[in-house]
A and B are shown apart, each in its own frame.
Chain A
Amino acid sequence: MSARPLPRWKTMALHAGLSVLCVATLYPVLWVVKMALSPTQSLSLSVSPFPEAVTLDHFRDVVGATDAQGRWLFGRQLLASLVVSGATTLVGLSLAVTAAYALSRYRFPGKASGMQLLLVTQMFPGTLMLVPLYSILQALGLIDTWGGLVLVYATTSLPFCVWMLKGYFDTIPRELEEAATMDGASPWQTFTKVVLPLARPALAVTALFSFMTAWNEFILAATLLNDAARFTLPVALQRFVGEYKTEWGHFAAGALIVSAPVMALFFALQKYLVGGLTAGAVKG
């Protein structure tokens, strides 16, 4: 466990163990890949995670889907998902960053109870808020719009984002800001030029979480959106899994397409994950 290299046999054993664990972890994913590439729509009883015959038909069906008016549904739904998730990340992050900074640095009335309230909101099951939420969005004229979804996603992911960012801001020494202020920077400049660049790992992780929340959500999206051309991808995916009949091939192909961007983001941001998630708790 120290910095010295391990004995050879131990290294071998470690690699063997880790490989087995990786295979066990990836096995279900390979199974989905197999279903997506196999020509049938049903499950098949075989242990091998590799397909017997390979076809891209399921991908072609999912990607090429059009509706009665000949609109390219998949393209529009992908766009919908990107727009909604991107906007959620932007709105959520800008709201969370300013709020978290204020909570970390300034003293103002209602601060302590506000923090408590943020935690408390996480404990009420979300599905039950669906009924009142529908009426509120109707009052705001936001049913069947992307804007309504963005607002709801951004605000529901806020408590978690604010808590995480505040924890990280707490670890950044105040001396840096004081020095900037001495040099004549305004509070806003200090915040954007000094604090935010330092908080990059936490920002990356928070952005990733906001994006994932919006990208994966489907209950609310399925309830609020009434036009197939404006559906987000998870809502479209839901159609392949019926109560009486599941088109496993289409579902698997769709699932891979939906998961791919999130995985790519994960890999791109993974060097920030470790630091961004824990720094607040460790040093604070």
Chain B
Amino acid sequence: MTRGHLPSSPWGEGHGERKRAALLAVLLSVSASAAPLKLWHGYRGGEEQALEAAARQFTAQTGVEVELLAVPYDALSSKLTSAIPHDAGPDVFIFAHERLRQFHRMKIVAPSTRWLERAAYLKPTVDALELDGEWYGYPLSLKCLALFTNEAKVPTPPATTKELEAMLPALSHPEHAEFGLAYEAGDFYFHAPILSGFGGQLFDAVGKAQFDTPAMAASLRFVRSLQDRQFIPQEVSGALVKSLFNEGRAAMVISGPWFAGEIDPSVRYRVSPLPTVDETGLPMSPFLGVEAAFVSSRTKSPEAAQELARFLSRGAATLERVKVGRQIPAEFAAYDDPAVRSDALIASFRAVAERATPTPNTLEMARVWEPMKLALRGVLQGGVAPEDAGKLATRRYKALHREAPPPANPAPYAAVLALVAVGFVVYRARRGTGRAVFDAEAVRGLEYVGPAAAGILVLVIVPLVVGVGLSLFHHDAGDYTFVGLANFTDILASKGYAITEPLSFYFTLVVTIAWTLVNVVLHVSIGLFLAILLKDPLLKLRGVYRVLLIVPWAVPNYITALMWKGMFHRQFGAINGLLALFGVEPISWFTRFATSFAANVTTNTWLGFPFMMVVSLGALQSIPQDLYEAAEVDGASKWTQFRRITLPLLKPALLPAVILGSVWTFNMFNIIYLVSGGEPGGATDILVSEAYRWAFQRNEQYGFAAAYSVLIFFVLLGWSRVTKRLSGEEAA
């Protein structure tokens, strides 16, 4: 950053225009040879169409091509942070401002201070893009929460919580699944305005997150009482809010501008600010999210990239985004457009935005979500009193955001490593002399193995060794510090949480072992059972059954996971539908450990039994038929035959499959991550998914995650020793 070269005062409007004209001239003159600009974003539907149209306008004006890439929003940030430092990223990208601090620390975003005309945009949107006196990116649109009311049911929107609570009883009929208010209460984004209304400050004077405050307890009590009186539904998802509002079964909804696109045209609605809390007299002030076009710090054509990002945030491009993408613009000028001025939705949101506070773009903010989600769900699902939720969140917060371990001196480690290496070489040399013969056979053998060995060395062994090496480092925003074994001692000492809590290594290890055991037992027993049913060669339709029963194996496992996740949905899932046929109340599968674990196991069993069935079929076919005939003659029962003939003879074939299956299941990331997602509160996470979270969801703590992986590796290595002994006894 070269702050010294920057002008001390912001550019005036006129100055900016003149500069822009000059820039355009430059661009036009070089456009023939200019490389296309890459633009990455996370938009879908109308927003994506609007952006594409805006990009076409840019190309028409400047002659510079724009290549767009849409990436799912939740994957965009990690893709940006891995691609840009490797010069494989975009020139311009669109993201919400709350990640700005992280992007800045990873040095992937370039300042826009010299080009940004700050007076052209709504003030809070410009404020959101400031870091230490520099501005980054160009504000495009804003998003915040407001109150949507069904005009037929609520003629005047409530201005205070008293008015709200007076209206709710008449609007709520839980016996008909009708509610006065619906919103995603389990998500902190939706709870934040309520917290602010009760006077809650999420950050203390030095900017550290604080959870255990009276306002937190009061706000949670308020929500809990709404739920207890059945004014709001339980376990709300976005899809439920949408269907309740559209079917007239929710009179009011708290949501953002995106919700307007989901409302049925037949529903007449109004958008107004969230009510004021009577106890404090404070308005519920939602977070203001600002989407901005950022310029990459590694772009090859910074001028053109700045121009593209600026172009997207202004004039015709803004109108396109407003009209086609239904965005709430950040640019003042857009509000003068006649079509925008007559748009009630946009006018209402502009009014709401004036009461909103930009989501802090601090690192601390990124650390709040997971603890708050835990606290909110704990209160709403029962089990945690509103007064204790703050403490719960604080504990989780401390556990997740461990202080960086002190740097260690690498010299002793290097010395130990060198000693081990020397010892190994000496050992091999003394033991191996005379045996390492490079005769013709050995040369041919090495020739045959060579290509595979080279490939494995470069793309498997090297990353693996680097991964192991990483476990001795602490990673923070692209910088690695050597910390020795501190990551391991932190994990093994279960620093920051009791060993009986989710998140502790031991708790997760027990869950992982239980998970592996239950799955392998179910796979083998179901597979073997089916194989025995199917082995009779005279059975008609045998081939058809076999084909149908291996279908689950052929379905990609992430599809299986998402499919079952849908089937376990509380309101719309087929499983609860089936249970309802037997008069069972709908179960919310992912709120309790036992049911959540069961859902994971069911999914993985469905996916895994065909493999064991096929292996068992092969093994059964290799057992000589006359053994059974002889047993029959001796009068042995079917059960005795199974125990004395089938099982012992199956063992050599099944054992390798069981070992392989157990290693696969132990590291079965997709199912855990996609089905239960670790719910409730990380309790159903297994070691691999926990390692993944540390690496990619909790501040990129690669070193800590690598230490987890090394421990997983040691557990499996120990397990392979055990199984080796088991199969060794077999051979003896």
Cα A147 to Cα B22 in complex, Å, equals 43
Cα A61 to Cα B41 in complex, Å, equals 21
Contact A133 B445 (CB under 8 A): no
Selected contact of B441 from candidates A11, A108, A125, A162, CB within 8 Å: A108
Question: A119 within 8 Å of B by Cβ?
Answer: yes
Main secondary structure of the interface of A (DSSP, over half): helix
Question: A223 within 8 Å of B by Cβ?
Answer: yes
Contacts of B545 in A (CB 8 A): 18, 22
Cα A106 to Cα B455 in complex, Å, equals 20
Selected contact of B716 from candidates A123, A273, A279, A282, CB within 8 Å: A123
Question: B647 within 8 Å of A by Cβ?
Answer: no
Contact B541 A15 (CB under 8 A): yes
Contact B463 A242 (CB under 8 A): no
Cα A80 to Cα B686 in complex, Å, equals 33
CB distance from B332 to the nearest CB of A (A): 29
The interface centre, meaning the residue of A47, A159, A238 with most chain B CB atoms within 10 A of its CB, is: A47
Contact A25 B667 (CB under 8 A): no
Nearest opposing residue in chain A for B537, CB measure? A3
Contact A273 B52 (CB under 8 A): no
Contact A32 B456 (CB under 8 A): no
A sample of 22 cross-chain residue pairs with beta-carbon separation below 8 angstroms, ordered by A number, consists of A2-B625, A3-B625, A31-B563, A35-B566, A47-B578, A47-B581, A98-B448, A109-B437, A124-B467, A129-B467, A131-B82, A131-B702, A132-B463, A136-B458, A143-B88, A222-B71, A241-B72, A243-B72, A248-B566, A255-B555, A277-B657, A278-B619
Contact B617 A274 (CB under 8 A): yes
Contact A277 B533 (CB under 8 A): no
Cα A217 to Cα B18 in complex, Å, equals 51
Cα A22 to Cα B86 in complex, Å, equals 50
Contact B73 A242 (CB under 8 A): yes
Contact A281 B460 (CB under 8 A): no
Cα A68 to Cα B464 in complex, Å, equals 40
Report B630-669 residues with CB < 8 Å from chain A CB.
Answer: 632, 638, 641, 652-653, 655-657, 663, 667, 669
Cα A15 to Cα B548 in complex, Å, equals 14
Main secondary structure of the interface of B (DSSP, over half): helix
Contacts of B622 in A (CB 8 A): 278, 282-283
Contact A26 B464 (CB under 8 A): no
Question: A182 within 8 Å of B by Cβ?
Answer: no
Contacts of A108 in B (CB 8 A): 441-443, 445-446, 449
Selected contact of A68 from candidates B44, B56, B467, CB within 8 Å: B56
Cα A43 to Cα B237 in complex, Å, equals 12
CB distance from B637 to the nearest CB of A (A): 11
Question: A53 within 8 Å of B by Cβ?
Answer: no
Contacts of B55 in A (CB 8 A): 68
Contacts of A25 in B (CB 8 A): 548-549, 551-552, 606
Contact A22 B564 (CB under 8 A): no
Nearest opposing residue in chain A for B243, CB measure? A42
Question: B691 within 8 Å of A by Cβ?
Answer: yes
CB distance from A122 to the nearest CB of B (A): 6
How many residues from B make CB contacts under 8 Å with A? 132
CB distance from B732 to the nearest CB of A (A): 16
Question: A189 within 8 Å of B by Cβ?
Answer: no
Question: A258 within 8 Å of B by Cβ?
Answer: yes
CB distance from A145 to the nearest CB of B (A): 11
Q: Type the 1/0 row for A21-60, where 1 means its CB is closer than 8 Å to any CB of B.
A: 1100111110110010000001111110100000000000
The interface centre, meaning the residue of B446, B535, B562, B625 with most chain A CB atoms within 10 A of its CB, is: B562
Question: A181 within 8 Å of B by Cβ?
Answer: no
Contacts of B556 in A (CB 8 A): 212, 215-216, 234, 255, 258-259, 262
Contact A127 B669 (CB under 8 A): yes
Contact A244 B238 (CB under 8 A): yes
CB distance from A136 to the nearest CB of B (A): 6
Assess A263 versus B442: contact at CB under 8 Å? Given A114-B453, A131-B702.
Answer: no
Contacts of A162 in B (CB 8 A): 452
Contact B448 A99 (CB under 8 A): yes
Contacts of A215 in B (CB 8 A): 556
Nearest opposing residue in chain A for B458, CB measure? A136
Question: B153 within 8 Å of A by Cβ?
Answer: no
Cα A3 to Cα B552 in complex, Å, equals 30
CB distance from B277 to the nearest CB of A (A): 27
Assess A239 versus B618: contact at CB under 8 Å? Given A28-B563, A259-B555.
Answer: no
Question: A138 within 8 Å of B by Cβ?
Answer: yes
Nearest opposing residue in chain A for B580, CB measure? A47
CB distance from A188 to the nearest CB of B (A): 9
Contact B74 A5 (CB under 8 A): no
- The chain A residues found within 8 Å of chain B, CB to CB, are 1-3, 5-6, 11, 14-15, 17-18, 21-22, 25-29, 31-32, 35, 42-47, 49, 67-68, 95-96, 98-99, 101-103, 105-109, 111, 114, 117-129, 131-136, 138, 143-144, 151-152, 154-156, 158-159, 162, 187, 212, 215-216, 218, 222-223, 226-228, 234, 237-239, 241-245, 248, 251, 255, 258-259, 262-263, 265-267, 270, 273-275, 277-279, 281-283
Stretch at the interface among B62-70, B293-301, B318-326: B62-70
Selected contact of B533 from candidates A14, A26, A133, CB within 8 Å: A14
Nearest opposing residue in chain B for A205, CB measure? B614
CB distance from B550 to the nearest CB of A (A): 6
Stretch at the interface among B280-288, B368-376, B388-396, B568-576: B568-576
Cα A25 to Cα B563 in complex, Å, equals 13
Contact A99 B573 (CB under 8 A): no
Contacts of B702 in A (CB 8 A): 131
The interface centre, meaning the residue of B464, B546, B691, B713 with most chain A CB atoms within 10 A of its CB, is: B464
Assess A68 versus B554: contact at CB under 8 Å? Given A136-B459, A248-B566.
Answer: no
Contact A270 B550 (CB under 8 A): yes
CB distance from B475 to the nearest CB of A (A): 9
Assess A127 versus B691: contact at CB under 8 Å? Given A43-B573, A68-B55, A282-B619.
Answer: yes
Nearest opposing residue in chain A for B586, CB measure? A45
Nearest opposing residue in chain B for A119, CB measure? B720
- Not counting A18-B533, A125-B669, a sample of 12 additional A-B residue pairs whose C-beta atoms are within 8 angstroms of each other reads A14-B533, A18-B534, A29-B555, A47-B577, A95-B452, A108-B443, A131-B466, A156-B460, A158-B455, A223-B78, A226-B88, A281-B653
Cα A120 to Cα B710 in complex, Å, equals 12
Nearest opposing residue in chain B for A49, CB measure? B574
Contacts of A127 in B (CB 8 A): 669, 688, 691-692, 695
Contact B574 A31 (CB under 8 A): yes
Nearest opposing residue in chain B for A187, CB measure? B444
Cα A270 to Cα B444 in complex, Å, equals 34
Contacts of B713 in A (CB 8 A): 120, 123-125
Cα A200 to Cα B457 in complex, Å, equals 28
CB distance from A20 to the nearest CB of B (A): 11
Contacts of A132 in B (CB 8 A): 462-463, 466-467, 470
Question: B558 within 8 Å of A by Cβ?
Answer: yes
Contact B445 A102 (CB under 8 A): yes
Question: B538 within 8 Å of A by Cβ?
Answer: yes
Contact A275 B456 (CB under 8 A): no
Selected contact of B653 from candidates A31, A114, A154, A282, CB within 8 Å: A282
Contact A3 B538 (CB under 8 A): yes
Question: B431 within 8 Å of A by Cβ?
Answer: no
Contacts of B470 in A (CB 8 A): 131-132
CB distance from B394 to the nearest CB of A (A): 26
Contacts of A17 in B (CB 8 A): 533
Report B673-730 residues with CB < 8 Å from chain A CB.
Answer: 688, 691-692, 695, 702, 705-706, 709, 712-713, 716-717, 720
